[in-house]
Amino acid sequence: MRIGLVGVGRIGASHAQVVRDHPEVTELVLADADAARAAKVAADLGVRAVETPEQAYENVDAVVIAAATAAHAELLIAAARRGLPAFCEKPVAPDIAGTVRVLDEVRRAGIPNQIGFQRRFDAGYAAAREAVRTGKIGGLRRAHLVTADAEPPPPGYIPTSGGIFRDCHVHDFDILRWVTGREVVEVYAIGAARGAPEFAESGDVDQSAALLTLDDDTVVTLQGSRYNGAGYDVRMEVAGTEGTYAVGLDDHTALVSTEPDVTFPAGEPFREFWSRFLPAYQAEINAFVDVAAGTRPSACTVADALESFYIAEAATRSRVEHRPVRIEEVRIG
Ligand SMILES: NC(=O)c1ccc[n+]([C@@H]2O[C@H](COP(=O)([O-])OP(=O)(O)OC[C@H]3O[C@@H](n4cnc5c(N)ncnc54)[C@H](O)[C@@H]3O)[C@@H](O)[C@H]2O)c1
């Protein structure tokens, strides 16, 4: 399979290595709006770079889109119109209208796509989903999610990110739906900007929390940070009438127990997303190669991404307007 990959920044360069190493990938071409960056990453990986993103769509069987968020929609639509299966990093577009437009286009084209919610390929989240689905936890009653970055993204990224709920917690919203099999009906979100001035200047926050209600009255809490001194901390708990399961609780967990004689966790915390989720990133690319070959359905479509984006939109509006927001309030159509 020949793959064109567009966008070789923080995550694109890492995805490129995974794509290059896939046994069924015979050719990988890289492109970026910054052609010099594409050339440098291509040289490092021993693959070919092309001058423009358009050229990365020529003579390939599928594309991987890891460019900046603002470019996703046009790149996904261009792939659909050319009949090219596409993997695209989240989010699909910076806003709901743009996401709906992409959904219309890819549905019309009937070309498969997969959006980069890698937690769906993480063993811990998959086990939590299984525990909920099979009833091992009993009836689901509560969930708790944490996504805390050890360090903030580069200052230039912050104004383009769409804010912490659309950029970061959209992963929590996606995995909440996937693990519980339920839909969010209402969210109340708060936050504070206590770090770099770029957060406040772009109307964003670097500390976040939210309360969410699911359609079966399950109650959910969420916390996040762009500055978690303890390390990169991504966890989820699902609590039911028979038991509570925890994702992300291992020897790398960025927590210190205050109990006497407790040595857990024994290892070092992760510092960033790539090392924490490497097996999941590899599994999602493996899955996409099968999706592109037509041998398995997509595990995360644009339609799925739209649902989690509605929750992120409602959370953003809730924080700004200091009130609970129902998901139906932001839904289009
Ligand atoms: N799934 C995850 O865990 C995860 C983690 C980090 C980032 N992301 C997503 O990946 C995307 C990229 O994030 P990043 O941190 O790598 O950003 P980045 O700023 O490091 O890299 C973005 C790259 O895209 C290039 N670019 C911008 N516009 C382009 C265009 N029109 N055509 C081609 N290239 C273009 C830039 O030159 C840059 O090289 C974002 O949408 C982000 O939401 C996902």
Cα 19 to chain centroid distance, Å, stands at 18
Residue 165 CA to residue 181 CA, distance in Å, equals: 21
The verdict on pTM exceeding 0.85 is yes
- pLDDT value at 333 more than 80: no
- pLDDT value at 49 more than 90: yes
pLDDT of residue 279: 97
pLDDT tens-digit series, residues 73-90: 999 999 999 999 999 999
pLDDT of residue 303: 97
| C-alpha of residue 168 to centroid of ligand 1, in Å | 13
Domain boundaries, the chain: 2-111, 120-272+307-329
Superfamily of domain 2-111 in the CATH hierarchy: NAD(P)-binding Rossmann-like Domain (3.40.50.720)
Average per-residue pLDDT in the chain?
A: 97
Ligand 1 atom at minimum distance from 8 CA: 39
Query: Looking at ligand 1, which residue's alpha carbon is closest to its atom 5?
Result: 11
Integer-rounded Cα Rg, in Å, for the chain is: 20
Neighbouring C-alpha atoms within 13 Å toward the C-beta of 131: 22
pLDDT tens-digit series, residues 148-174: 999 999 999 999 999 999 999 999 999
What confidence category does residue 130 fall into, taking pLDDT thresholds of 50, 70 and 90?
very high
Phi, psi at residue 224, to the nearest 5°? Answer: -150, 165
- Cβ 235 under 6 angstroms from ligand 1: no
**What is the CATH code for 120-272+307-329?**
3.30.360.10
Long-range contacts of 255-264 (CB under 8 A, 24+ apart): 255/230, 256/230
pLDDT of residue 29: 98
- Cβ 157 under 6 angstroms from ligand 1: yes
The mean per-residue pLDDT over the stretch 186-213 comes to 98
| C-alpha of residue 73 to centroid of ligand 1, in Å | 13
| C-alpha of residue 13 to centroid of ligand 1, in Å | 10
pLDDT tens-digit series, residues 218-237: 999 999 999 999 999 999 99
- pLDDT value at 189 more than 90: yes
Nearest to 209 by CA among 199, 221, 197, 218: 221
- Cβ 4 under 6 angstroms from ligand 1: no
| C-alpha of residue 41 to centroid of ligand 1, in Å | 14
The mean per-residue pLDDT over the stretch 289-318 comes to 97
pLDDT tens-digit series, residues 268-290: 999 999 999 999 999 999 999 99
- Cβ 65 under 6 angstroms from ligand 1: no
Residue 262 CA to residue 293 CA, distance in Å, equals: 49
- Cβ 170 under 6 angstroms from ligand 1: no
Residue 212 CA to residue 21 CA, distance in Å, equals: 40
The mean per-residue pLDDT over the stretch 17-27 comes to 97
